Homo-oligomer: A and B are copies of this chain.
Amino acid sequence: MINKLLINEMKERVFVANLALPEAGLVKLTWGNVSEINREAGLIVIKPSGVPYQTMKAQDMVVTDLNGDVLEEGMKPSSDLATHVELYKAFKEINSVVHTHSKHAVMWAQAGREIPAYGTTHADTFYGVVPCTRQLTSEEVTSAYEFETGKVIIETFKDGALDPLAVPGILVYGHGPFTWGQTPKKAVENSIVLDEIAEMACVTEAVNEAVRPIPQYLLDKHFFRKHGTNAYYGQI
């Protein structure tokens, strides 16, 4: 039997996190989706597909098992669900995934470029470049598109030996950003940061064509000021 209380709490968190996207200016119309996983309970909760934010309710969030099979009657899940499922299977440390078409991150995804770490705003959240996947092949797109989108993200992290908590997001070539985190709140914040640093980076290059990424020691300093056992930012 499914724990109703647990599900309702997950639905409420996922609902609030989804609403945070248009509030932060990251989502127009029905673009974007947030999910949360509870591995112990074997549950994923995700935004329903194509439902307007204005009328969406917490109870509309869709509940699936860890393979993305819907457990309750009701709405269809986000069409990007299969991507979320693959990310949860590969990245055991994360509990929430966010996908948006936020404009500045999309600009870099469309340009097919990783975002260099040009400053400490970037380093506070992303420990190194924000990677960009290779382009999906015709076969990948026509066979199981959303599944393969997850796979190419995982491939990029494997090839680059990247840690999903140290680099909590990526650009999918020609498409847009996915971010994640240990909570829906944190995953949404990472989407906010990603769009902001994407915007900053493209103008930085316009202002100085010869700009270089910040040195490794500054990247280390800012990232570990906020993350890991020696972090000293915040109230903890």
Contact assessment for B207 and A205 in the assembled complex, using a CB-CB cutoff below 8 Å:
yes
Of all chain B residues, which has the CB nearest A107? B203
B112 touches A196 (CB 8 A): no
Residues of B within 8 A of A199 (CB): 103
Q: Is the CB of B202 within 8 A of A119?
A: no
Contact B207 A76 (CB under 8 A): no
User: Which chain B residues border A103 with CB–CB below 8 Å?
Assistant: 196, 199-200
Cα of A232 to Cα of B76 in the assembled complex, Å: 10
Say how many copies of this protein the assembly contains: 4
Contacts of A208 in B (CB 8 A): 111-113
Which B residues are CB-close (under 8 A) to A175? 119-120
Within 8 A of B (CB), among A155-197: 174-176, 189, 192-193, 196
Q: Could you tell me the distance in whole angstroms from the C-beta of A184 to the nearest C-beta in chain B? A: 15
B50 pairs with A233, CB closer than 8 A? yes
Stretch from A3-11, A38-46, A211-219 forming part of the interface with B: A211-219
| Known contacts A29-B189, A203-B104; A111/B174 CB under 8 A | no
Which residue of B is nearest A146, CB measured?
A: B225
Check if A67 is an interface residue, CB within 8 A of chain B. no
Q: Tell me how far the C-beta of A203 lies from the nearest C-beta in chain B, rounded to whole angstroms.
A: 4
Given contacts A101-B121, A103-B199, 12 further A-B contacts (CB under 8 A): A49-B233, A101-B120, A106-B119, A107-B200, A108-B207, A110-B119, A113-B207, A119-B174, A119-B176, A120-B176, A141-B217, A174-B214
| 6 A–B contacts from the bound complex (CB under 8 Å) | A48-B235, A104-B203, A110-B201, A118-B174, A119-B174, A202-B206
